[in-house]
Structure 1
Amino acid sequence: MPDEVWEQFVRDSERDIRTSGAPKEPSARARMVTERLRQQEARGELPQGWRAMPDGQRAGGRRDRRRKVWTAVAVVLAAAVAVVAMKPSLLPGDPFGTDSAAGSGADSGTGADAGSRSAAPLPAETAPETAAPGAVPGTPTLDDPFAGSPAARYADGAAGIVLPRAKAVGVFSKDQVARALEQSRTLLVESNIDRGTLLGATPEAVFDEVLDPRQPELVEDLRSWLREPGEDRDPLRMFSRFDPDEVRLVGDVVRTRGRTTFEEGRDGALEIHTDYTFVYALAPADPDATEVARTIVRRVIDLRMGDPAKYRATPGRLAVVSYDDDIGNSACFTHDGFLHPGLAWSDATGAPPSGPAVDPYDRSRDIGGDSEPDACGTVSRT
């Protein structure tokens, strides 16, 4: 065996022993194997070039596989970094404060409202708001009817009625409370969001599934008011309705924001409090008209499910304890059972608004308690 070949073999063997973590001094078996290989080499019994195995193969496939795995991970990380660099708001919580449009009053969406959805929708309201929302630039159009309105960031329709988690209250189980909360949601949806109701139909589900028939004064009054509205018989106290001969709804959604809470009342009753604002986009009934207006309706309704053993109540139905409303942009002192938004072409004969202007989007203020009985206020925006 040439000396340089033998020296290379020794160097390779020592290196492999060091990297394997084995003792630096070759064992007796290793020395025997080395001597046997040297003798077989001298007799020509080993194939030519048996020491010429490439380094990559001698190291084995595991290191190569590990290198490939880390290469793939590096590619994925690089792609993720590139995506975040282009849109940092994808990170939870927006740690870099990149969602600058969040306070602009727009949110994201599809269809006719897509233009006003340039910022994320507001989170669900879980506590009373502390101030009115800021000014929002923009002008409503048929394609973007909520532009220039805080409602651009409100939820769509029933999605804005987020119910609290149910729990047992008073004499009622968790399941009974959950059902009552769903009934309160049905009342709000059928009265203020359902398209049939908005165009003048009677919301039968309210009477058939929610309201307690053993509260006849209210139930019978509401049905009568819907049939024959008048000054003291106004269905708008509970229902949102528009005259389809006068206006048409723009788009497919009503924007909704508010909250529902509940607690135990007297004698173990379940008391449900609802406070919601509904924003409607409207245009003249003439299909060629392009003017867009908005009407804002805020409703505060208190409901009760009483223990039939202590209350004159129907099991599984809700009684209305109180209701109040605040309507922005509708003709004053009209009693035909419809809301009449202010439009340039309108010839509504209602009394002109008077009194101090209020912001119909300001959910931090109470409604009803500080207004004059015959007041017809103005709104600061629609």
Structure 2
Amino acid sequence: MSTVPPSEQPDEQPSISDEQLAAFLREAAEGGGTAAPKEPSARARMVTQRLREQGDAPPPGWRTGPASHEVNGRTRRRRRLGAVLGVLLVAGLAVVAIRPSLLLDQLPGASDDKPEAGASVSASPVTGGGPTLDAPFRGSPARSWAEGADAIELPAAKAVGDMSEEQVEQALRRTKDFLVASNLDPAVRRGAQPAKALSFLDPKQPDMLPDARRALRSPDREHDPVNLFTRFDPDEVRPVGDVVKVRGRMTYEAGEPGQVRVRADYTFVYPMAKAESGADRISRTIVRRGLTMVLSDPARWDVTAGKLLVERYDAAYFNVACENDGGFLHPSFPTVAPTDSPPTGEARDPYDLDTPLGEVFDGEACGTVTRS
């Protein structure tokens, strides 16, 4: 039995029925029987009471995206355009379910001082308390991350293969420009057309721009613009403040003769609230994007000077609904009962930046997050 006096227990509610107590005393008098029934700890009762006050809605789930595609953006030699060899576009992990310990972490005064997964790029202790309108990153590892475009730092450019330092610098800069225009532009995040982002892509790459424009014009499961662009429905949600937290890395290497290949892997954290006036519950949508972009020398390839070819793009979405529609990400709010598919996939840490993005996915399963 609990050593906490009844007057000190939350709500002074007994957790052992009269029948249980009588049975225990009877068995003890007979010299055997079961162990004394145990009361839940005071903290467990606090969590139970908190969940009761928030409602009985089950935790929502996530989906991994429609199909996987890989775009080979390499063109053939001058005067001949290369064919797209296939498409691996992994759109994924719309994750919303939360483990019970996360609820404990959100209680006032609770704390989590454990270093986060992927410590080599994202180590920072997490202090207690959930997000508020004034502190939307409270309780998140992202609170100490850099923000906005300045967080996307370019490595020092050096000549690689037969590409000059200036060409490498241009490839890095254009890749950053694309990331900023497709994930940080406030208008794009509110559902506007990502015209600037599209302007960095080579119109000579077969299918790339037509497919992207088709997805923006008539989105469906097979043609979803969120695979490339971070977009929210302004009638559904609004951003909390102007800050987006960002962390990741960018590298480069020589491609085929006359090409430099840039690889980018960045995670973006967006605090969102319901669009209606006065809404103050916050959901942090976490989007991890992987890009492989190629800049080619127009003297050797049939390309548009200064434009990027998309060789591969991957994406993982956390704390959004399992079912996506309308060409937008749909943030999930844990106390709202889900209307989409229940989670069936494994749990993932959305702040793990070290696991290769391709290993994050599991078919088209819908899974859970270990923290938000």
Quickly name the TM-score band, shorter chain normalised.
0.5 to 0.7
Which of 146, 154, 157 lines up with 1:166 in the alignment? 157
Q: Tell me, yes or no, if the aligned pair for 2:285 and 2:317 is still in contact at 8 Å.
A: yes
Does 2:354 match 1:354? no
What are the residue-to-residue correspondences of 1:178-197 with 2, within 5 Å? 178-197=169-188
Letter in 1 for 2:158: K
1:129 aligns with 120
Gaps of 5+ in 1: 1-126
Alpha-carbon offset, residue 347 of structure 1:
6.4
Does 2:255 match 1:246? no
Q: Tell me, yes or no, if the aligned pair for 2:121 and 2:248 is still in contact at 8 Å.
A: no
2:306 aligns with 316
Does 2:218 match 1:228? yes
What are the residue-to-residue correspondences of 1:138-149 with 2, within 5 Å? 138-149=129-140
Identical-pair percentage: 46
2:362 aligns with 372
Distance 1:341 1:358, change over 3 A: same
CA RMSD of aligned residues (A): 2.0
The 2-side partners of 1:337 and 1:164 are apart by 33
The 2-side partners of 1:247 and 1:234 are apart by 19
The 2-side partners of 1:305 and 1:130 are apart by 27
Q: Tell me, yes or no, if the aligned pair for 1:282 and 1:293 is still in contact at 8 Å.
A: yes
The 2-side partners of 1:314 and 1:347 are apart by 49
What are the residue-to-residue correspondences of 1:199-348 with 2, within 5 Å? 199-208=190-199, 210-344=200-334, 346=336
Deviations 1:321-362 (A, max 9, x none): 001111111101223211111115656632122221100001
Q: What TM-score do you get using the length of structure 2 for normalisation?
A: 0.65
Distance 1:281 1:130, change over 3 A: closer
User: What's the secondary structure of 1:140's corresponding residue?
Assistant: coil
Alpha-carbon offset, residue 374 of structure 1:
1.1
The 1-side partners of 2:332 and 2:160 are apart by 45
Alpha-carbon offset, residue 375 of structure 1:
1.2
The 1-side partners of 2:279 and 2:158 are apart by 50
User: What's the secondary structure of 1:267's corresponding residue?
Assistant: coil
Distance 1:376 1:305, change over 3 A: same
1:153 aligns with 144
Q: Tell me, yes or no, if the aligned pair for 2:347 and 2:370 is still in contact at 8 Å.
A: yes
Q: Tell me, yes or no, if the aligned pair for 2:158 and 2:164 is still in contact at 8 Å.
A: yes
Alpha-carbon offset, residue 175 of structure 1:
2.0
**Which stretch shifts more, 161-170 or 348-357?**
348-357
Distance 1:275 1:252, change over 3 A: same
The 1-side partners of 2:205 and 2:254 are apart by 20
Q: How many residues align?
A: 255
Larger radius of gyration: 1
Letter in 1 for 2:354: S
Deviations 1:20-45 (A, max 9, x none): xxxxxxxxxxxxxxxxxxxxxxxxxx
Deviations 1:238-296 (A, max 9, x none): 11111111111001111000111111112131010000000000011012111111010
User: What's the secondary structure of 2:207's corresponding residue?
Assistant: helix
Q: Which has the higher contact order (CA 8 A, sep 6+)?
A: 2
The 2-side partners of 1:348 and 1:228 are apart by 25
Letter in 2 for 1:285: A
Deviations 1:28-81 (A, max 9, x none): xxxxxxxxxxxxxxxxxxxxxxxxxxxxxxxxxxxxxxxxxxxxxxxxxxxxxx
